[in-house]
Amino acid sequence: MEDSLPSLDLSSALTLLGDAVSRAVVGALKGTGLRHGHGYLVQRLLVGPATATELADELGITQQAVSKTVKELIDLGHLETVPDPTDHRRRPVRLTPRGVEAVERARAARTEVESRIRAALGQERTDRAMADIQAMLNALGLSEDIRRRTVSPPGPEL
């Protein structure tokens, strides 16, 4: 039988669930220097290289915040600048092998969380829950941002 929880509104319950997943991911990335906010930028760079201006525009955050975070991620060895053969003024960045390895560690942590949920709920209930969550994301207008990997962080900073 499931433990009884205090009454929660849907938004609070989803926030707590997301926070639990974030803790698992951040725990898996211990020692990398990465923090939760870096994930928004890293997710976008999975699509391909981008400049700080492009990242700021696509993620809806300040260029100052992106530039600071890009420098930090370069210093940590997760990003590198790449030459733009058509415009030498552009300075796009991309994930390094270390950055890609961190993405793989984060994905493994998410897979572990999902496995725990599937074990607790069973396949059918988990699939129904996922369908409901996808419908909620659609209702909030996030579908296109998710597809393009340009989901904005909750605030103007990373």
Which of 147, 52, 143 has its CA nearest to residue 92? 52
User: What is the mean predicted confidence (pLDDT) over 128-154?
Assistant: 94
- Phi then psi dihedrals of residue 94, to 5 deg: -145, 165
Which pLDDT score, from 0 to 100, does residue 154 have? 85
Angle, helices 63-75/52-59, rounded to nearest 10 degrees? 120
Residue 19 vs residue 2, higher pLDDT: 19
Tell whether the model's pLDDT for residue 1 goes beyond 60.
no
Domain 21-148 has what CATH class? Answer: mainly alpha
Average pLDDT of the residues of the chain: 93
CA distance linking residue 14 with residue 9, whole number of Å: 9
Give the dihedral sign, CA 137/126/114/24: positive
Question: What tens digit of pLDDT does each residue of 89-109 get?
Answer: 899 999 999 999 999 999 999
pTM for this entry: 0.86
CA distance linking residue 143 with residue 129, whole number of Å: 17
139-144 contacts, C-beta under 8 A, 24 or more apart: none
Are 149 and 103 in contact by the 8 Å Cβ rule? The answer is no
Percentage, residues of the chain above pLDDT 90: 86
Question: What tens digit of pLDDT does each residue of 40-57 get?
Answer: 999 999 999 999 999 999
